[in-house]
Amino acid sequence: MVIEESNLPASVDIQSPNSPKWSVGEAIGVWFASVLLIMLIPSLFLLPYLATLSTPIVDTDQILEFAKSDPTSIILQLVGIIPAHLLTLGLAWLVVTRMSRFRFRESLGWERGGFRWWHYFLILAGFFALAAIVGHYCPEQENELLRILKSSREAVFVIAFIATVTAPVVEEVVYRGVIYSSFQAKFGIPAAFAFTTVLFAVVHVPQYYPSFSTIFLLTLLSVILTFIRIVSGNLLPCILLHMFFNGLQSIFLIAEPYLREQIPVEAVATLAK
């Protein structure tokens, strides 16, 4: 509802994605708020559940351990990410539209920018092929996301929804929309490319540490998405590719237990070699 533009007057001004009206300081403010919301909102979802426990937990270390190990706590915190994403999107809308003076989508770039469907297919095929090679020589290590995925099947479904529906839109709006556009206008394309790419990767490190192969692939994905933003001059191709990438992974996560049941034990042993 926040980004609805159909009610805007036809005469409203439209700003260019590469000539934004928001400043670098405002862009950093949106990013900082997005991180803060992701940290605080899930905790607020957890507090009522903690209050219902028969044995109250008051020690901070015990609360942190319970929040990371109890399946219901994990689900509640994951669900809390959704309103955090919506609030972030609303804040980005306020900054980008200058309180409804400009159109949100046009300001960020809502055109294909020369990208065709087969471009997405080639990029995804090449990326997953490289990921398979990296995974073969440097397998993924245990990390925070894997721990959450193993907590329950419900957690897998919630993560699949967030990763496919809300995260690609919000993350691309913040990083390659609000941040890249402001840095590109102020410092030029090389500086904006480097800063946006690194910032996106660094923010995700706690989620995947110490799996360095995963961090490498995530950084590569950030490079690809930022490069697409540069060559297309639009944010929409970045959002679509991000959605396709996360969506394919989500499908595999959901289907993995069923696929495992269909593979004979002998085949599993062969694949494990």
Ordered per-residue pLDDT tens for the chain, 273 residues? 444 444 545 444 568 899 999 999 999 999 999 999 999 999 999 999 988 888 888 788 888 898 999 999 999 999 999 999 999 999 999 999 999 999 999 999 999 999 999 999 999 999 999 999 999 899 988 899 999 999 999 999 999 999 999 999 999 999 999 999 999 999 999 999 999 999 999 999 999 998 999 999 999 999 999 999 999 999 999 999 999 999 999 999 999 888 776 555 444 333 333
CA-to-CA distance for 269 and 273, rounded, in angstroms?
7
Amino acid 27: pLDDT: 98
Look-up of token digits 């559940």: 49
- At residue 197's C-alpha, the angle toward residues 195 and 198, to 5°, is 65
- At residue 63's C-alpha, the angle toward residues 62 and 69, to 5°, is 85
CA-to-CA distance for 97 and 105, rounded, in angstroms?
9
Q: How far apart are the first and last CA of the chain?
A: 51
Amino acid 262: pLDDT: 59
Amino acid 261: pLDDT: 62
Burial classification of residue 60, based on how many CB atoms lie within 10 Å of its CB (0-12 exposed, 13-18 middle, 19 or more buried):
exposed
CA-to-CA distance for 104 and 93, rounded, in angstroms?
6
H or E element, residue 78 = helix 71-97
Amino acid 7: pLDDT: 52
Look-up of token digits 């900054």: 95
Residue whose C-alpha is closest to residue 238's, from 194, 175, 179: 175
User: How many CB atoms within 10 Å of residue 224?
Assistant: 19
Amino acid 16: pLDDT: 87
Residue whose C-alpha is closest to residue 85's, from 165, 29, 179, 196: 165
Residue whose C-alpha is closest to residue 174's, from 13, 6, 37, 9: 37
